[in-house]
Structure 1
């Protein structure tokens, strides 16, 4: 039985079902004081595991990794007590031991105090509140890296999560995206990932903190494209799941992936403020993450169930994800509003079809019509 306790943050305005999996990690080094914000299923725990192991070997980092955890009661015990005594996040990453230097802290203020490096891994809808709460509690010259796969909307259309953090906190932010299924990362299976940083020195610092022999990192300066790839691929994965639910076959899914990639590139070229390098889409953050998500991710899996059962996304979130929110449909809705504002809906038929099927009651079969009449075929 799981019970939820109060959270000393403005996130209380959100639903309990969404908050039930919100956690944040913090790590503190010697030359730097590091803060890791984590949430959302097991991805943050996998990253905390890597950081905990690495800081024990790297002298510039202190050996203790503090982790802010949304306090919950699991089987009669506080989650923080379980993590600190059993060294396992039994709810979000069961079966994988965390290093003993990873310490769970229930108080956000205590966790972020004097932190110089911040790692954000939370659902993107919480980023405004989290930034508001921790601004002023960390040094002005702190550095951050975000693993958040989502976007926001602003007056001019697209608003990247890194931009929100940068504007609210006044710190430099790098991004990390890639084909990194959390359970495989935690198990030490080989994978690649991409860090995008507008200040290369900062990106290389985070590479030093995070890289292992089985977690290989490439650093590029095309940070906005790296971040956008991590958000948009979830929309494509929903489309791939629809095709799986319709039993369309591997050829059709390949078309979804290709056309989805084309729309990702086109979207980036329109909305990214800086130069967009096509080569970035060939990094792990691009085509590799897209393929992995379209075959092994939760967005694909829930979308397949949506197509086969006729249940709503919300019903499937409760049944399949313990009420956790799927990022693909939410990102599709945000992208659709941005495209509509700019009069570009017709230019992105795959993104639009995913939104309309998820939120406007359009039949799943329209996914095939979208592919058949896609502008790439004209």
Structure 2
């Protein structure tokens, strides 16, 4: 975050503008870059006029993806049909993308985060702050961490979290949506709000980085369960029950293992129940798990066929949560999470999704 400085003889301090780097360029990364691009123009006294979006170079119909984005201002592979502001520039070199940036927005698939952090460590501008838009958790040696903490520890920067009822394509199309920013320091929350909020994308602030992060991660497990229900054609009553039970397991997990989480986050913030609703009605996790039931294909095949280069989050989060709960002897306390894990990774039949939810 830009640091206020006073020049010699100046009567008042002047604030350096924040320079924005979006680290990731998938559909959500491109949608977030679009919001940032709009707002650096609106708040020209606060932000540098260019938003640099790190874009892993790849070919799309025989052309470099960065070339397409920078000349046609559309990410034709991951967010087709949506025009990006001219303030957004795709940069294939990660170190160049973060050079001088004071507002780092992480939107990479969580499988690649540690590699990215290793590369940029030691190359971050003084006073920079970060925000995680990544859905998932990191589990290692029986320890669970939210990605905002992983980023903060690796880079020594304060890191907030953004999550909410946000289908990327709908946000990019300018349809009304809400989201939640969990902040470490209120001034950082205000800065992120100015960077992302538009009249159609409303940003709520809450002092609960862990709650926002965990809701964003764990709701994907619930969405996988909802997709199984859709594939089985069990109807809306069944899906509503899955959503209710899923919310209870998310709350229980947060309170048990992250005692600082605020109870209001679950019902009063977009990152809470609203995100469960959206993700269980739409989104890639629900879609892919429905296809798993209907086609009998593996998740690897479904991911390649349906997601066009994007990554499926919920099945991997289910596995990571299982590993963590097993290390704590708490698997049986979370029957929905456990059943999703067994269907995805142990070959349990999807029709067993509700078989253990009531201890019967």
TM range, smaller chain? over 0.9
* Equivalent position to 2:223, from 237, 261, 267: 237
Equivalence for 1:21: none
Aligned residue for 1:33, secondary structure, equals strand
User: Hey, what's the Cα distance between the residues in 1 that align with 2:16 and 2:33?
Assistant: 17
Shift of 1:324: 3.6
Aligned residue for 2:356, secondary structure, equals helix
Equivalence for 1:291: 277
Shift of 1:323: 5.1
Shift of 1:37: 0.9
Equivalence for 2:256: 270
Equivalence for 1:280: 265
Contact 2:142 2:323 in 1 (8 A): no
Shift of 1:306: 0.9
Equivalence for 1:362: 348
Structure 2: stretches of 5+ with no match in the other structure = 1-14
Q: 2:167 aligned with 1:181, yes or no?
A: yes
Aligned residue for 1:35, secondary structure, equals strand
User: Hey, what's the Cα distance between the residues in 2 that align with 1:56 and 1:323?
Assistant: 31
Equivalence for 2:122: 136
Shift of 1:176: 0.3
User: Hey, what's the Cα distance between the residues in 1 that align with 2:105 and 2:352?
Assistant: 39
* Equivalent position to 2:27, from 28, 34, 42: 42
* Equivalent position to 1:251, from 213, 237, 240: 237
Q: TM-score, normalised by structure 2?
A: 0.93
Shift of 1:374: 4.7
Contact 1:66 1:102 in 2 (8 A): yes
- CA deviation vs aligned residue, 1:343-372 (integer Å, no higher than 9, x gap): 00000000000000000011111102133x
User: Hey, what's the Cα distance between the residues in 2 that align with 1:246 and 1:265?
Assistant: 27
User: Hey, what's the Cα distance between the residues in 1 that align with 2:306 and 2:63?
Assistant: 24
Contact 2:231 2:291 in 1 (8 A): yes
Shift of 1:30: 5.7
- CA deviation vs aligned residue, 1:150-174 (integer Å, no higher than 9, x gap): 1011345211111111111000000
Shift of 1:206: 0.5
* Equivalent position to 2:295, from 301, 306, 309: 309
Aligned residue for 1:62, secondary structure, equals strand
* Equivalent position to 1:320, from 283, 301, 306: 306
